[in-house]
Amino acid sequence: MAERPHHQGDVDFAARNGWDRAYEIYDDFDLPTYVGLPTFMKLPWVPDPSELRARNVDIAIVGAPFDDAVSHRPGARFGPRAIREAQYTSGSIYSLQLGNEPFELLTVVDAGDANIIPAWIDRAHALIYRKVHEVASTGAIPIVLGGDHSITWPSATAVADIRRPGSIGIVHFDAHADTANDDWGVLAGHGTPMRRLIESGAVKGRNFVQVGLRGYWPPVETFEWMQEQGLRWHLMREIEERGAEAVIDDAIAEALDGPDAIYISVDIDVIDPGSAPGTGTPEPGGMLPREVLRAVRRVASAVEVAGMDIVEVSPPYDHAEVTAMAANRIALEAISALASKRLAGQPVRFERP
């Protein structure tokens, strides 16, 4: 019988295998995206509001992994993680569109997720409100990753509360108005958040601008309510006829008609489902991804941004991460636009007067 190889106890196996050589050790921020904690763009994970304040954070990513208020296809609770993971770059990035390095100009971190559990809408909205309120109270601009669109009600309300006595307006990119009175009797559904915001007084109807509406919902009586409240909107038909640039310029002017700052809400279904299939209520005939990315850059460059959300990314219906990648890039475009403001000497953080 052959004997097994025998090695003395003092053999240096690391040296024998060449594993004792000096190697460069990379910071977590510079490691590949698939290594370590999946934070947004490998940014530091800073869930503690006192640390956000101590670091003087400019922008904080917040997750709202909640989709119990959907009326059609579920799965958006997995959206925040998918958006965070939908990236191939790490370390200091450079925006070709805007010619800046946003993470060199701004302090951006991932502030973690709201404390969500399933099957309890009221609790989820309360904890989203508290998480966004904590982040916004530090002066950082929250970018909230949803989740279904019902999360805009607590998220935008938290931002509006922090900004008082000033006021905020909303620029809302969506295929659907989300101004229904209820979803089968549910007042907090993902088709109702904009009505709840306006009825509560957190946002005034005349300070609300919608872009990209199309399809066959909501019913006509909902639009009548919108007219009564003074909402302004731009149908997809208008984008087709006049071009996205002209429509966005009008939306910016309307959004700045009164408010001190703007909250941007992007439902990923504003993009045509051929380019963003992973969503709960796909609506054919939407905007191109490049149109939405440019629109977000233009809005974030022109207004004082109080907060932002990107919602309705539903990974179970996505293909090759294309919807999550679009959402990831929407956040990056807003961050890069705010970095351009910093370069120009304009404020980014909210400093209470």
Instruction: State the burial class of residue 159 (Cβ atoms within 10 Å of its Cβ: 0-12, 13-18, 19+).
Output: buried
So what's the pLDDT on residue 28? 84
So what's the pLDDT on residue 80? 97
- End-to-end alpha-carbon separation of the chain, Å? 86
Locate the domains of the chain by residue range: 28-343
What is the rounded distance in angstroms from the CA atom of residue 134 to the CA atom of residue 38?
Answer: 22
Task: List % helix, strand, coil for the chain (3-state, nearest 5).
Answer: 40, 15, 45
Low-confidence ranges of the chain (pLDDT < 70): 1-9
Kindly write down the DSSP assignment for every residue of 19-41, as one continuous string: TTS--PPPPGGGS-TTSSS--GG
So what's the pLDDT on residue 1? 54
Domain 28-343 in this protein, CATH class = alpha beta
In the numeric block, which tokens belong to residue 97? 């569109």
So what's the pLDDT on residue 217? 84
